[in-house]
Structure 1
Amino acid sequence: MILREFLYVDTDKVRALLAQLDGGIAEESRETERKERRTTVGPRSAAQHLQGTGSESYTNKSLGDALFPMLEEALESELLLHDISDDASEVDLWQTGELKIKYPPGSLVRLTAPGSLFDTRYAASAFASFGHVNVGLQGIGVSPSNGPQGTGKGKQSQQRPKPATKDERGIVQLEDAIPDFPEVGGTDGNTLRSFVRISKGVFTPGLHINLTPASGSLVSARLQEGRQYLDTEAEILFARYGTEAHVWTLVGSIGSYGTEETELPDMNFYRADGSIDRGRFAEAMNAQMRNLGRIGFIDLPQHPGFSLIPFAVYRTIPRGAELVQARL
């Protein structure tokens, strides 16, 4: 039996697939037992002895952690789930495009590989904390780069936190939480705010998991909030798992592969009468976005990688014997 530590489970998708495979999901069990013994003496109307016993047990429970393993086993038994961990670790299969041919979009796959979490909101929060610490240190007369600069009231900071601004929709931007602070190692508040602005384009704010099964490849999945297990704040998740890579297992369906187009799209979407062809216009705009995704400027899969629509994300809990073997 495999013990799994789940980071994420999309219970809605898991239930929907199980219902299609098994015709429904049993989440209620009821067991009834009754024994009866009857003794009659003399005429029926004279005396009767009746002894009966009965019991009923009723359980109504959510399958919880057992729900996804049931789906995983059912998909494997139907030969619908493909473990691509070995294939994805081969650089040649990515470069030749054989992986895409073997596992086209829509394929149900399981991939185990090193991967890390990323959330632009957490990056902005961490940078803001760094900035506030530096502002605070300067306020008490300490320079992070040069050591103590003396104490006393005469060393108060001249820097002030950057006031939060709002865009045209009245939304406060993530980067505005980062204050201005004295340059530390070539980094200042403006530099960190620029990094957050770039992050917002490359990875739309939200929790992402990025697997790198082979050099130059990236398999990315956006973990939707409000699903089972993913019900905590980003700060807590990063405090638990950190920012370094761990070996994770993703199970889901392949969404799309990064585009191989290298030429800019044709923006001619007009008809002969001067009207706009809506279909050609949509494709022209999509081609523009694919090009931006190709160079990594927006949150789309980048060639040769692909996006994964996750059903579950977990890591395997090693047993005692496995730990001993790993130490050896």
Structure 2
Amino acid sequence: MASNDPYQILGVSRTADAEAIRRAFRKIAKADHPDLNPGDKAAEERFKAANAAHDLLSDPERRARFDRGEIDAAGQDVPPRGFYRDQAEGAAGARYRPRDPFAGMGGGTAGAASFDPDDLEDILGMFRSRESGPRPGRDARYRLAVDFLDAVNGATRRLTLPDGRDLDVRIPPGLEDGQVLRLRGRGSPGSQGAPDGDALIEVSVRPHPFFERAGRDLRMELPVTLREAVLGARIPVPTPRGEVMLTVLPRSEAGTQMRLRGRGVAESGGTPAGDLLVTLCLVLGPVDNKLEEFLHGWSPAEAGDPRAAMRRKA
């Protein structure tokens, strides 16, 4: 007989963390999902068992109760020692009743006659199973990694769930790293007409090679050559929503900051778009003989000391 222990079904240890449990279920789902194995009853049963095991172990509270022996693998309360679940009244009226201490001893049940469970209603009430009724579905938690520009501009990205289904997630412009999105009704189904649970999606934003975020604004360093900084130039600048031309004024120093309005985080829900703050970064580039000869013969009228401020702070 196949084991009904959720840990054995998923093939994980009892100390496995949530990520290991998720990976184990995902592996089984990819192999045994009914959509991938039409007509294969054995695969379908394995998938159902894995789904039930994952449903139990992915819920920290229910997992803890199972580990303590308070509920079984199906999520049902385990009767206290010396009691049994009486199903004679149907699932809705099932209750715990004391076992007959003389059962199987050939002496009948004379000793149990005075132990009327109805007379002990108050004492045994804590051991009753919960009455069945509408129960809202549980929330499901997922993680989704998105590109930096998707978080800045907004996008729709597809999340593949552990059971193989796909979920389209709308990324609003300006989403922050670690923010949790709630998709109503996309969690576990409710029972008897109760509402379904929600999908809670924690989003992690991947870093960008040259953009950095500062609230609604973005920052970047723009390399410029010595000639462009001294003589001025119009330079193409990448922004989150396309390339624009930036005018670098003559005699611009390294570290000069320029602002491109509306080129930061995109507008969202009435919040105006942020700006792109561009800091000029002087790049000397290859040095040829002409530049070297010029510098040997050139002496600025006011040399200045670029490191004076550093010495003052030392």
TM-score range, shorter-chain basis?
under 0.3
Higher share of residues assigned helix: 1
How does the TM-score come out when normalised to structure 2?
0.21
TM-score, normalised relative to structure 1: 0.20
Identify the structure with bigger relative contact order (alpha carbons < 8 Å, sequence gap 6+). 1
